Amino acid sequence: MSDPRWLVTGGGGLIGGRLLEALDDAGVPARALAHRRPVRAAEVIHGDLRDAGALPALCQGIDVVAHCAAALDPVDSEAEAQRINCDATLALARAAKDAGCRAFVFLSSQAALGWRPDAGLVGEDAPATPTTAYGRSKRAAEEGLLAEPWGSTRVVILRPPTVYGPGERRNFLALCRAIARGGFPILGRGDNRMSFCHLDNLIAAIRFVAEAEPARGILHVADEPPATLAGAARILADAAGARLMPGRVPLSVARGLAGALEAAFTPLGRRPPLDRARLTTLTSDCALDTSRLRALGFRPPVRFEDGAREAVRRYRSEGAL
């Protein structure tokens, strides 16, 4: 087998693991960095991104670095989030540059942009106002990558929203569970736009920008077109055979409920089913404008309605719902 062309970090996670599968299916050899979880790849290197001295060797012989590893939200320590999500990212990018890699693809997040209640369709150049330690660490990495000269190494920052699809067990599953139980309330008017990104759309975008020479800087990737809260809830309820609560819950009432749940669950060390942060993401009219990536020729292969229905079926078959 020829030397690996791709290096994938986070290969034991949802996104990195799926990317390694896609590369293997396409006959593209890959090197993967394994930290805590097992990884399947043509070549596996066991290590830690925080070990800066090991990064140069990791990048040798590599054409494309896909940096998918991260300390995920919620993070316990802002300092640790900065070390993993920002400092280690910049160190890896510098190692990729020194090794002559032609592309460095960093997986950021909509959390780096933040959610503003009436932002509408948000482009890549909109002011970033992250509100969580995770979001701030991702934004700091973006700023660091945008500030440095990278020579012949092309740096691309992909910003997805909530990612769902095979293997997802976090935010989207929590939403599906809440709806599948029946009686899910539409919070606020329900016409607020929100973005989701099917896992296969994100994998396709990573591979696309790695090869597309004009792709540089920050690019938004998401299912097209954006969903609305009410529309997404109806699709998921229909797929789960559940009924939504009739009518709407005013935002003022929802905020009071979220505050009360936080007060009840936080002393127990548990995250409530609805807190103020989750309420913000569910009710903000804040969706990602993907026109810049589309203008480069990318088309996401999976529609939200199809991907959401498939996700519910998979959760059911795996006993998660």
Mapping DSSP onto H, E and C, the string for 279-309 reads HHHHHCCEEECCHHHHHCCCCCCCCHHHHHH
For residue 40, is it within any domain?
yes
* Residue type, position 142, single letter: E
For residue 307, is it within any domain?
no
For residue 13, is it within any domain?
yes
CB atoms within 10 A of CB 128: 19
Task: Supply the pLDDT for residue 183.
Answer: 86
Which residues are CB-contacts of 230 (< 8 A; sequence separation ≥ 6)? 186, 190, 191
Angle at 223 between CA 250 and CA 221, to 5 degrees: 110
- Exposure letters 239-274 (e unless 16+ CB within 10 A, then b): bbebebeeeeeeeeebeebbeebbeeeeeeeeebeb
* Residue type, position 308, single letter: A
- In the numeric block, the tokens 């960093």 are attached to 106
Closest CA to 232 of 196, 188, 189, 259: 196
CA distances from 259 to 75, 155, 184, 271, 272 (A): 21, 41, 18, 12, 10
3-state helix, strand, coil in the chain (%, to 5): 45, 20, 40
Number of domains the chain contains:
1
Task: Supply the pLDDT for residue 74.
Answer: 78
Closest CA to 73 of 108, 32, 27: 108
Backbone torsion region of residue 314, taken as left when φ is above 0, otherwise alpha when ψ lies between -120 and 50, otherwise beta? alpha
**Which CATH number covers residue 161?**
3.40.50.720
CA dihedral 123, 213, 9, 138 (to 10 degrees): -20
What is the residue range of 212's domain? 6-168+194-226+286-302
Dihedral angle sign, alpha carbons of residues 280, 283, 284, 286: positive
CA distance 214 to 217: 10
Strand partners, 248: 186
* pLDDT tens for the chain, residues 1 to 321: 455 699 999 998 999 999 999 999 999 989 999 877 777 776 888 888 999 999 999 999 999 999 999 998 878 789 999 999 999 999 999 999 999 999 999 999 999 999 888 999 999 999 999 989 999 999 999 999 999 999 999 999 999 999 999 999 999 999 999 999 998 999 999 999 999 999 999 999 999 999 999 999 999 999 999 999 999 999 999 999 999 999 899 999 999 999 999 999 989 888 887 888 889 889 999 999 999 999 999 999 999 999 999 999 999 999 999
Task: Supply the pLDDT for residue 46.
Answer: 87
For residue 174, is it within any domain?
no
For residue 118, is it within any domain?
yes
Which residues are CB-contacts of 301 (< 8 A; sequence separation ≥ 6)? 200, 201, 204
Q: What is the DSSP secondary structure assignment for residue 247, as one 8-state letter?
A: E
* Residue length of the chain: 321
Strand partners, 198: 164
For residue 181, is it within any domain?
no
* Residue type, position 312, single letter: V
Q: Are 109 and 71 in contact (CB under 8 A)?
A: no
- Exposure letters 188-204 (e unless 16+ CB within 10 A, then b): bebebbbbbbbbbbbbb
For residue 279, is it within any domain?
no
CB atoms within 10 A of CB 312: 25
CA dihedral 298, 117, 111, 64 (to 10 degrees): 10
CA distance 253 to 250: 5
For residue 241, is it within any domain?
no
* φ, ψ (nearest 5 deg) of residue 288: -85, 130
Global pTM reads 0.93
